[in-house]
Structure 1
Amino acid sequence: MTTTLAPAQAWERLLEGNRRFVAGTPRHPNQDAQHRAELANGQNPFATFLGCSDSRVAAETLFDVGLGDLFTTRNAGQMVTESAVASIEYAVALLGVPLVIVLAHDSCGAVAAAVAGTAIDADPLPPKIWKLIAPIVPAARRVLKESGGASVADIDPEEVGREHLRDTISGLMHSSAIISSAVTEGRLAIVGAKYRLTDGTAVPIAQVGLADTDIPSLSKEQK
């Protein structure tokens, strides 16, 4: 059994949960013993989540959802890794989720490390950590070029985070025929949002597969 929600409906459900979280009135749905027992027979998530491993960015909490609602993948910097793509493909192809939410956040350590790593004299990172965050470096270089700056100090890490978020959506589309076909056919949408640590708001930055009217604040992040 798969969800009957359309992509726009799934996004609105997440937005409603985030509004409750921000207002301090969460309902903590689908977290009772009865629902837990019902899920033993199978899952029916209405969205899949690709987010950062940062301990402050827990999807079920900030979107006020519960057990069985989100099919979740997390890694440092919400990277398009083989395991992340495969997990999302599973959610799309076998579970029929209509929405992928990619969530970045401010003050991201992975972004900061990638920005620092663009310096010629940067201290080396452990190889596996560098391999993970290296895909963020092109975004940092674009931001530096567009700013007209001359050094790492001129790079705005928050703008790099937004650029990387857009790159992540593009990477998912180009890495998977399953994902891109589902978007083309209207069965799936991908929304990239940025989570603000200070007030708890998930602000949309970019999307594919939804009309602009479904995300009226798109690319207009509040300061």
Structure 2
Amino acid sequence: MSRWNDLTGGTSGEDYAARFAALARSGKDVHGEARFCAALVPPGARVLDAGCGTGRVMIRLAELGYDCVGVDLDASMLAVARQQAPQLPWFQADLAAFDPDALGVAADFDLVVVAGNVFQLVAEGTVAAVVRSLTGALRPGGLLVSGFGLDEAHLPVPPTLTLGRYEGHCEAAGLTLVDRFATWDADPYEGGGYAVSVHRR
């Protein structure tokens, strides 16, 4: 059972989408993650949105010309994503056991994006398996991009994953750190409660 499911009961898709829709109507920028990814790989690149939720990031990337696939475990979130963009490929799967071949998807993504605190919200003890499975979905030279909170001020649950532990899992999976930022706007990381990490396979 994921920490996300413990938190939401797997029924929060519409509420989650409504919150971001309200932010967008108020003039807030809700596309920072997509803009960040678009600066790393050119249009036409294959992007896996791992823990895609209601599809906010992936739909924007698809609009920008990227070849996208979305994966999430929460059926309520995927229902919203499929309603908003039925033409895009959405899959329900556990990231710790994600197997692109089993879904008929080529494991040669140029970039895997893991936004929305996913690494802090997967099931206890599965972060290493998630990193391994997502690394396996990348082509050689492909990028794993993740952003997650590191303290309670940036998370809906108490943190269980430190940046040091995450880095250890990435190294064990054969990934190399390229850069790290404090925000999706690429502000320099100088410590603090949120980190966006870019690793290369």
TM range (shorter): 0.3 to 0.5
State the TM-score, normalizing by the size of structure 1.
Answer: 0.35
State the TM-score, normalizing by the size of structure 2.
Answer: 0.38
Which has the larger share of strand? 2
Q: Which has the higher contact order (CA 8 A, sep 6+)?
A: 1
- CA radius of gyration, larger in: 1
Which has the larger share of helix? 1
